[in-house]
Structure 1
Amino acid sequence: MAKRAKMRFPQLLPDLLKKQMAGLGLAERLREVEIWRLWPEVVGPTVASRAQPLRIINGTLTVAVSSAAWMQELRFLTTMMKQKLNEQLGAELIKEIVLRPGTFKKNTEPVDDDEPAPPKVLGEQQKAFIAEQAAGIVDPETREAFVDLMTTSFERGRSRS
């Protein structure tokens, strides 16, 4: 059995993953995924609220645009968008940008991953629903855990209220 080469220094996990992905031919696909993260920065918040990338296949980036007026406006900007995206990606991954009419979920408020939204206050109906659902659980520890889970779910807006 062949021995693995000894590492001189510990290596960072992202660096190791990049090396492995390059061997599998996935490095370019991983770089393409960066398009969705870079999009608002490259095109600006106004355009990003009206147009979003859908997919990239063989260097052709397809972008959904909310209206015909915006599509007409963006036709003049496709060359600039392509250059800026390729510059940010560090390689010429995008060869063409195709605009398509489409609908998408508009992100109207900025997402701050560091600060979660404050929990919602539960109404009496929600509290009663949780109590009713938990009533059939015999084990008190399991019932308490279930109630905590349901309460958190309702507070964070993941409920059927």
Structure 2
Amino acid sequence: MKGRYDYHMKADRLSGVIEAVIGSLGLTPKYHGWQVVTNWSDIVGQQVAKTATAIRFDNETLYVAVADDAWRQELVMQNDSILDKIHQYSYGRVVKRLRFVRGEKG
């Protein structure tokens, strides 16, 4: 049991060091934005993730690729509820806007 505890303690400490370095470099918002991109399907759910993929975070805007205009329009109508889901995620508050762009899903 001690080995597992030591591993988690070291991982937590390393995570804290990484966060501190990122913060000292002024990269915290970009890092948090990329956490949203990376965890997109967990944040918004499989139904949305099947039709749209977060592709980029820049200047408080999350860019989401959607394969066709019909789904793009549907997601534009769901903009506020998708933003609410993102804001519930631990790093999600850095996202202020969503921009749905035409592109390949996935």
Listed as ranges, the gaps of 5+ residues in structure 1 are: 1-9, 106-161
Determine whether 1:26 maps to 2:42.
no
Q: Is the 8 A contact 1:34 1:89 kept in 2?
A: no
Larger-Rg structure: 1
Listed as ranges, the gaps of 5+ residues in structure 2 are: 1-9
Q: Is the 8 A contact 1:59 1:93 kept in 2?
A: yes
User: Identical aligned pairs, as a percentage?
Assistant: 26
Task: Point out 4+ residue stretches in structure 1 off by more than 2 angstroms.
Answer: 89-92
Q: CA RMSD in A?
A: 1.9
Which residue matches 2:68? 67
Q: Is the 8 A contact 2:63 2:98 kept in 1?
A: yes
Instruction: Work out the number of aligned pairs and report it.
Output: 96
Code of the residue aligned with 2:30 in structure 1: it is: R
* Higher normalized helix content (fraction of residues): 2
Q: TM-score by structure 1 length? A: 0.54
Query: Which structure has more RCO (C-alpha within 8 Å, separation ≥ 6)?
Result: 2
User: How far apart are residue 85 of structure 1 and its match?
Assistant: 0.8
Give distance in 2, aligned partners of 1:86 and 1:41.
13
Which residue matches 2:85? 84
Q: TM-score by structure 2 length? A: 0.78
